[in-house]
Amino acid sequence: MYEQIAANKRRTVLLILGFMLLVAGVVVAINLVTGGGVVGFVIAAVLAIGMSVASYYNSDKVALAMSRARPADPREYARYHNLVEGLCIASGLPKPRLYIVDDPAPNAFATGRNPKHSAVAVTTGLLEKMNRVELEGVLAHELSHIKNYDILVMTIAVTLVGIVALLSDFFLRFMFWGGSRRSDRNNPLGGVLALLGIVLLIFAPIIARVMQLAVSRRREYLADASGVSLTRYPPGLISALKKLKGDTTVISSASKATAHLWIEEPLDTEHANASTRFNRLFATHPPLDDRIAVLEAM
């Protein structure tokens, strides 16, 4: 397990670099298509770095705001706070900020850039439908994401995927309506580079989406195993996952941008649990049946 955690940390660094390079590629493509020259290239580089830094420090706030999460009052949600505090003591983690999402669908997610700057959010439906042991299993799963540093790349993906999609869409529309002002259309090299830029702008959102999907699947299995190791009671999380599998409600505040953060697919449970190769390719999470089977075999 520790080797897997170490490997995940290395993959996290590579994925973050990949996201940064993709953003940089998009802004450079925009520069090539619009003919910005050296000045445009410098502006593109500054934009890429600025957006990446902003994502690093603010992605958790964006994820929480998009999910309509609010701080969990310690008195009103005493059980929630007590369970997290006990698990944090057992795992050696600092207590994350705790949030509530007012939604009847049972679900939860963790966000932040590191254990000292992290947050956990659960829906009111999760608190109502899970007993204490099941809730502890879910919270241990989310704290494992924090301990394994999964939250960094998973949270940054929220904003960077959105940035790539918005930039690509905006400038493709800009080109469609005749916004290009390239002055070197007769330059074959310039034309080839501009064409490559347009191709990148077209495919960048797809690449970003695939990278986003790659972020969470393998990490869910590891977080399940780490969570069970933390509680020392596999039946708790197994029972919670079975309840999630049987629940058909979807989260109203969830979106494709944040879907990979939640403990299970929050948008379409039928799609998430489907076992076809096509559905598995584009699912944000591994099937719940597979996750349950792995835990039952432990």
Active site residues: 142
Locus of tokens 């080109």: 175
Angle at 258 between CA 202 and CA 281, to 5 degrees: 60
Of 130, 128, 67, nearest in space to 99 by CA? 67
Question: What's at 163, amino acid-wise?
Answer: I
Q: What is the 3-state secondary structure (H, E, C) of the chain?
A: CHHHHHHHHHHHHHHHHHHHHHHHHHHHHHHHHHCCHHHHHHHHHHHHHHHHHHHHHHHHHHHHHHCCEEECCCCCCHHHHHHHHHHHHHHCCCCCEEEEECCCCCCEEEEEEECCEEEEEEEHHHHHHCCHHHHHHHHHHHHHHHHCCHHHHHHHHHHHHHHHHHHHHHHHHHHHCCCCCCCCCCCHHHHHHHHHHHHHHHHHHHHHHHHHHHHHHHHHHHHHHHHHHHHCCHHHHHHHHHHHHHCCCCCCCCCCCCHHHECCCCCCHHHHHCCCHHHHHHCCCCCHHHHHHHHHCC
Residue 128, Cβ neighbours under 10 Å: how many?
9
**Backbone phi, psi, residue 100, to 5°:** -125, 140
